[in-house]
Amino acid sequence: MLVSLKWLRDYVDIDVDPKTFGDKMTMTGTKTETIENLGDEISGVVVAKIVDIQPHPDAEKLVVTQVDIGKKENIQIVTGAKNIKVGDIIPLATHGSNLPGGIKIKKSKLRGIESNGMMCSAKELGIDEKFVEDYKKNGIFILDMEDSYKLGKDIKDVLGLDDAIIDFELTSNRPDCKSMIGIAREAAVTLDNKLKFPNIIVKEESDKDMNISVEIKDNDLCTRYLARKVTDIKIERSPYWMQRRLIESGIRPINNIVDITNFVMIEMGQPMHAFDMRQINGDKIVVKTPDKEEIFTTLDGQERQIDEDTLMICDADKNLGLAGIMGGLDSEVKEDTKEILFESAVFNKENIRKSSKRLGLRTEASSRFEKGVSEENAKLAIERAAQLVELLGAGKVVKGLVDTYPNPKQVQKLTIDPIRINKRIGIDIPMDKFCSILESLEFKCNLKTSNELELEVPYFRLDIVEEADIFEEIARIYGFENIPSVQLQGNSTAGVKTDKQKYVDNIKNTAIACGLYETITYSFVSPKGLDRVKIPEDSKLRDVVKLINPLGEDTSIMRSTMLANMMDVLSTNNSHNVEKANIFECGHIFTPDDMAGVEETRLCLGMYGDNVDFYTLKGVLEKIFQRNGIKNPKFVAQKENTSYHPGRCADVFVDGRHIATLGEAHPQVCDNYNISKRVYLSEVNVDIMFELSDLSIVFSQLPKYPSITRDIALLLDEKIQVGQIEEVIMEKANELVEACNLFDVYKGAQIEEGKKSVAYSIVYRSLEKTLTDDDIAQVHSSILKALEEKLDAKLRD
């Protein structure tokens, strides 16, 4: 917020220098970013009048002028300016004067003719040319209104250059401070002075009727709409003092009517708009959203597509403006406008923010509406605009004010506990001082008991909603520097990791020990990733958590699987010619409330390269299970998971619960990521792992009795998995089978088609005695019989 200190003094007495004032404002919560002292480098520049112009005798492009600066003798100036004439009032840098940039003006001779100074352009005075009329840009800065200037007067006083511009950094919760009055309120409290609020009186001199009606069709999007009619309009330039104040606020002056609306917006913090009455059909204003998408041309001449959520200001037949953002091109104030309608309204801040973002159009008005404006301030602002119209002689105000206010806002009341606030701040402010601080901020105090103070919140403080907000107000005005510093109190405790965190760390350490490198990726991802890893349309993984305000489409949802992230990492490595990659990530996936949970911890493994296959990945996964208390994991072939190769994928179950999936990535998935190699992936549910883990260590004595090994070679269907064979063997173990180890799988010419030979070594041992052949034969026979009955396995000769 750019604030002219000279303008600010209209509302509050400031008797300190700009730097001291900025420092004090920072200490009470209104941070000062920069201070620019205008005119500091200017001296000796005065108001002058050109009284004579003659050609230079020796230079066609130069003229010799005589200028009057209010002294007995005129001053001779030689110049090449083309935009001057006799009678013009100009800024003149006299002999010995200084200009911005360290320029010093001295007497000189130009082609033999003495020149005793220099006529100044706007640029030479440090005035930004974007705020200067076209006819003044390419030459000397011609001053307007000759009669109002005293010749010889310091140009800094005339042009308002004896000022300081302070840039305050405002927080988003203080929209009331985005105005001169708002800053003045803070300055008054900071300097312990009184606010001088403008005395607003409207004469209403026009005898015409206020024949305008206003209809609000959506009370949630527009809570109040005020309108005032002005006749006998005279469109002309604003007085210099108003232009100067707009310029210092970063706004280009246009004409008196438009400048009044901008002046009130800066002064009061209420955006306003002026409509040409000739463009309002049916003498009616309607505030509504369109029934369908339309094209609307705004004041800047751009055609914009508006949709059903864009709030519009309309008449009986057509759109007039984008509510709270920008008016329409057709309804703008023109040079021949004779009647206008002032608008001052309050619009829903969320709707304005979304519409402004959707249209790519952010204005001074929308930046204020999207933070919130006060319904009470809207009325004060339109009355102030009417007063300025009369003050500038720009028109006559019609009697009456249209005020459509469907649901008047009640005065907000808040009950607080001063004792609790004092305790939390760490001070003891007496009750009279406590109330005095709040009353200086325009709160009304009603003390009921020592720990119960009822407050009426001022209409402009939209940020005050609870006691914590009052806590902040008391602390900042009392002075943070006045709050004593104390040592921290309480018992210190050691920060330790939870059991779950330690478990995850152990998983990571195991993966690293297996030769994998850890990576970390973003949890918010693109929905396209689900397509690239071939997640079916009806999968629950498509039910994702969507971000309300994403940075872009590539980060618009929270991930429901880590496969897409892993494939991105592997693809990046492959594109950089990394021949072999072994990667893991331990992170989180996110699901909506109506699914299993909001957040789940997952481990994702990914690898490619020479000598890497399904069993490489399976071995890493088994080692992770073994080192982290997962006993007897069961690997079951899986053909339905579309992200994996249908013949090289398995699910892992522990105690009947699905704990992981592993396999070779589907070739189409690899194509989607431009990877020509075979890629192996696994995604593990760490939450279930942690729940099922058994990290207890049980010691047993060394066996006293010897073991006996029996080898068997089985002929069975090639579709039978070795896990099924081992399951049958261990079922019939009768506590005598210590281990069964697979040592051969054979398919060849001696084995009929569709069959395979599987060979096991079965180790028998008893903890109570030395086994005999008879002891073993009974168990061994039952194992062979069970294999034949359940798996149709034949003992191979």
Whether 203 maps to a domain, the answer reads no
Whether 206 maps to a domain, the answer reads no
Neighbours of 242 (CB within 10 A): 19
CA 347/CA 223 separation, integer angstroms: 6
Could you tell me the pLDDT band of residue 593, with boundaries at 50, 70 and 90? low
User: Which whole-number Å values give the CA distances from 565 to 619, 686, 753, in the listed order?
Assistant: 23, 17, 42
Q: Does 232 belong to an annotated binding site?
A: no
Print the domain residue range for 561: 499-692
**Which pLDDT score is estimated for 411?**
93
Q: Are residues 626 and 553 part of one domain?
A: yes
Burial track 566-594 (b if 16+ CB lie within 10 A, e otherwise): bbbbbbebbeeeeeebbbbbbbebbbeee
Higher pLDDT, 387 or 748: 387
User: Which of 718, 726, 764 is CA-nearest to residue 743?
Assistant: 726
Q: Does 176 belong to an annotated binding site?
A: no
User: Which whole-number Å values give the CA distances from 418 to 414, 430, 451, in the listed order?
Assistant: 12, 9, 6
Could you tell me the pLDDT band of residue 641, with boundaries at 50, 70 and 90? very high
CA 42/CA 35 separation, integer angstroms: 17
**Number of domains observed in the structure of the chain:** 6
Neighbours of 680 (CB within 10 A): 27
Mention every residue, 6+ apart, whose C-beta is less than 8 A from residue 281. Answer: 315, 316, 317, 318
* Average predicted confidence (pLDDT) for the chain: 91
Tokens of 661: 């999936």
Q: Does 259 belong to an annotated binding site?
A: no
Q: Are residues 685 and 570 part of one domain?
A: yes
Q: Are residues 662 and 518 part of one domain?
A: yes
Q: Are residues 538 and 453 part of one domain?
A: no
Among 146-150, 214-218, 321-325, 667-671, where is mean pLDDT lowest? 146-150
Q: Are residues 364 and 220 part of one domain?
A: yes
Q: Are residues 183 and 53 part of one domain?
A: no
User: pTM for the full model?
Assistant: 0.67
Higher pLDDT, 656 or 127: 656
For position 315, which CATH number holds? 3.50.40.10
Whether 207 maps to a domain, the answer reads no
User: Which of 261, 324, 333, 340 is CA-nearest to residue 287?
Assistant: 324
**Which pLDDT score is estimated for 796?**
81
- Residue 86 phi, psi dihedral angles, 5° rounding: -65, 135
Tokens of 504: 């995850």
CA 531/CA 509 separation, integer angstroms: 32
Tokens of 206: 């026009």
What would the pLDDT profile of 389-412 be if each residue is shown by its tens digit?
999 999 999 999 999 999 999 999
Whether 633 maps to a domain, the answer reads yes
Q: Are residues 369 and 288 part of one domain?
A: yes
For position 432, which CATH number holds? 3.30.56.10
Q: Are residues 538 and 677 part of one domain?
A: yes
For position 725, which CATH number holds? 3.30.70.380
User: Which of 264, 266, 219, 268 is CA-nearest to residue 409?
Assistant: 219
Q: Are residues 176 and 115 part of one domain?
A: no
Q: Are residues 732 and 764 part of one domain?
A: yes
Name the 3-class secondary structure at 234.
coil
For position 683, which CATH number holds? 3.30.930.10
Q: Are residues 57 and 130 part of one domain?
A: yes
Q: What average pLDDT score do residues 669-684 get?
A: 95
Whether 487 maps to a domain, the answer reads no
Higher pLDDT, 132 or 381: 381
**First-to-final CA distance of the chain:** 95
Higher pLDDT, 593 or 262: 262
The single-letter code of the amino acid at 639 is K
CA 388/CA 392 separation, integer angstroms: 6
pLDDT at 314 over 70: yes
Whether 472 maps to a domain, the answer reads yes
Q: Does 610 belong to an annotated binding site?
A: no
CA 770/CA 549 separation, integer angstroms: 74
pLDDT at 167 over 90: yes
Whether 493 maps to a domain, the answer reads no
CA 585/CA 565 separation, integer angstroms: 9
Whether 732 maps to a domain, the answer reads yes
State how far Cα 762 lies from the chain centre: 66
CB 272 within 8 A of CB 374: no
Q: Are residues 735 and 680 part of one domain?
A: no
